[in-house]
Amino acid sequence: MSSIRSFHLVAFSLSIALSAPAFAQQAGQAEPPPGSPAATITIPGNQLPPPLQKFGGKDLGVVDRIKFIQECVGQ
């Protein structure tokens, strides 16, 4: 019975020892922090968003915008 236990112990230890380098390699390939120059990906051209559509609403002038803001603020 003890020989079976020792075999299992050796097999388990061997499997841990062989898988350790794989975990170490994954740990070395960490992603760069967000916002850094290295934090970029390249996407294919067929995944770009479609061009913006023409605005169909009413374009207010500067005076109309100021009046609108003053009404919202309550002045």
Residue 28 is predicted with a pLDDT of: 61
Does the CA dihedral 9-15-18-20 come out positive or negative? Answer: negative
Q: What residue segments make up the domains of the chain, in order of their start?
A: 1-29
Q: What is the pLDDT of residues 1-17, one digit of tens each?
A: 577 777 767 677 777 76
Q: What is the pTM of this model?
A: 0.27
Q: What is the pLDDT of residues 24-36, one digit of tens each?
A: 555 566 788 888 8
Helix H, strand E, coil C: the string for 8-60 is HHHHHHHHHHHHHHHHHHHHHCCCCCCCCCCCCCCCCHHHCCCCCCCCCCCCC
